[in-house]
Amino acid sequence: MSNQTKIAIVASQTSSAQQAMDAMAKKYGNVPVKDADVVVALGGDGFMLHTMHESLATDQRIFGMNYGSVGFMMNDFAEDGLIERLNAAEETRIHPLKLIAHHRRDGKNGIVGKAIAFNEVSLLRQTHQAAKLEIIIDGKTRLPELICDGIILSTPAGSTAYNLSAHGPILPIGSPLLALTPISAFRPRRWRGAILPHEAIVEINILESDKRPVSAVADHIEFRDIEKVHISEDKTRTVRLLFDPGHSLAERVLNEQFEF
């Protein structure tokens, strides 16, 4: 990259992030996202996920800078030296999960909707009743009945987020794996989940769905009153994230396993 690099600067709605965006725009310019070589995103991880979803239509590289609370997917914020940082940045490519969710309409199974998730797809109980789920992997029933608060299928990028909070495994970035993690499993009580190959096709049927309603969430998109879901990796879609040298997403995942 050079001083001629076309940069789009976007920011979350917090006043501090908006002020930082205005200051950086005066220094580096701020072209429309569709015309940019790279998008600089100022905010937290939630805003970064939003920017990643938006970038699927434009294929720009994204350099996030932390103006939020956690900022796991963000670089440290600094107003100066942006061009030099972009020139030295390391790229990480991420494929999302694809969710197809169904529910029962007029006695027929219909598609509720489709969504993608860069972090995870979660199935969550909607009421006081625990969810009752059948887990099918690549067409074979692996768990005929799981009673739980829910279940998470996580990418390596999302394995340090909700998945980790539910005591799921941390997956190295770039590993050809997915983490399937139950939330408060009641039966089988000692089932702690599974690590799956990234090509796995995961189907989950919601048992007794009238009595035990379940919602499906792909990152920030929710479908309620689900009968079944179909989840697989979408290799046709990619986002490109930029990180400062020595602070790549892979390095952050490693650090997460050794910091207490």
Is 45 among the residues known to form the active site? yes
**Region 168-197 average pLDDT:** 92
pLDDT at 69 over 90: no
My answer on whether 190 and 111 are in the same domain is yes
Q: Structure tokens of 20? A: 């930082």
Task: Tell me whether residue 16 is in a domain.
Answer: yes
pLDDT at 245 over 60: yes
My answer on whether 124 and 218 are in the same domain is yes
The domain total for the chain is: 2
The whole-number pLDDT of residue 105 equals 61
By residue range, what is the domain housing residue 44?
A: 7-95+238-256
My answer on whether 227 and 116 are in the same domain is yes
My answer on whether 64 and 78 are in the same domain is yes
SS percent in the chain: helix, strand, coil, step 5:
20, 40, 40
Of the candidates 45, 76, 219, 225, the residue annotated as catalytic is: 45
Residue type, 13: Q
Residue 73: pLDDT band by 50, 70, 90 thresholds?
confident
My answer on whether 59 and 131 are in the same domain is no
My answer on whether 77 and 167 are in the same domain is no
State which H helix or E strand residue 97 sits in.
Answer: strand 97-105
My answer on whether 173 and 226 are in the same domain is yes
My answer on whether 246 and 223 are in the same domain is no
- DSSP assignment of 10-64 equals EE-SSHHHHHHHHHHHHHH----GGG-SEEEEEE-HHHHHHHHHHHTTT--EEEE
**Region 108-136 average pLDDT:** 91
Q: What's 36's domain CATH number?
A: 3.40.50.10330
The whole-number pLDDT of residue 259 equals 67
State which H helix or E strand residue 154 sits in.
Answer: strand 150-154
Task: Tell me whether residue 1 is in a domain.
Answer: no
My answer on whether 106 and 171 are in the same domain is yes
Residue 39: pLDDT band by 50, 70, 90 thresholds?
very high
My answer on whether 80 and 113 are in the same domain is no
Residue 106: pLDDT band by 50, 70, 90 thresholds?
very low
My answer on whether 250 and 137 are in the same domain is no
